[in-house]
Amino acid sequence: MNNEKKPMDVIATTGRLLIRPLSPADLPALAGILGDPEVMRYSVRGVCDAAATGRFLDWCLASYARDGIGPWALVEKGGTDLIGFCGIGRERVGEVEEINLGYRLARSCWGRGLATEAVQAVLSFALDKQARESVVVIVEPEHMASLRVAEKAGFRRYQETRFHGKSVRLYRLTRAEWLAAGSSAPGI
């Protein structure tokens, strides 16, 4: 029997980040992030308590098993602490199932360009490696930081819609747009 510890699967790396699947060991740090009212101010689901965070983590693990995608852990290179997540997952928007980009960062990591870096890597995975036809991102119009991240990543076109009872912008980035812009992230 081999008791050697296997390295965790790495989805992508960037200049400063390691992107890997979330694991049950991430639950305490994830609960701290999703329990922060400032981090969750623009979340359609609101602040998560420990039970809600556990359900979210269970959904992530089930998404990995079912689809091979989901919100992935963000860890700074050289560190071990979870600083947030970024990934793609199935999301029903109205009557259509979309591949939705989602991301959250611990407040201590805001303003450093880490969300943009993670989003670029995840989009490269989705649109280059997996050849997804398109990815959407759903952002409340008042969430200026998230709008900037989406626009820096190449999202331009949006439609106003309602999602979980809130007015939002639904941005779409197609694979053709991504490739035409010459976008990709290193380390995929």
pLDDT digits (tens, 9 = 90+) for 119-128: 999 999 999 9
On whether the CB atoms of residues 183 and 124 are closer than 8 A, the answer is yes
The model's pLDDT over 132-182, given as tens digits with 9 standing for 90+, comes to: 999 999 999 999 999 999 999 999 999 999 998 889 999 999 999 999 888
Helix (H) or strand (E) holding 28: helix 27-34
- pTM equals 0.89
Choose among 78, 79, 77, 64: nearest CA to 24.
Answer: 64
pLDDT beyond 60 at 2 = no
Q: How far apart are alpha carbons 5 and 175 in whole angstroms? A: 37
Task: Please list, in sequence order, all residues whose beta carbon lies within 8 angstroms of the beta carbon of residue 180, skipping any fewer than 6 positions away.
Answer: none
Compute how many other C-beta atoms are within 10 angstroms of the C-beta atom of residue 18.
Answer: 20
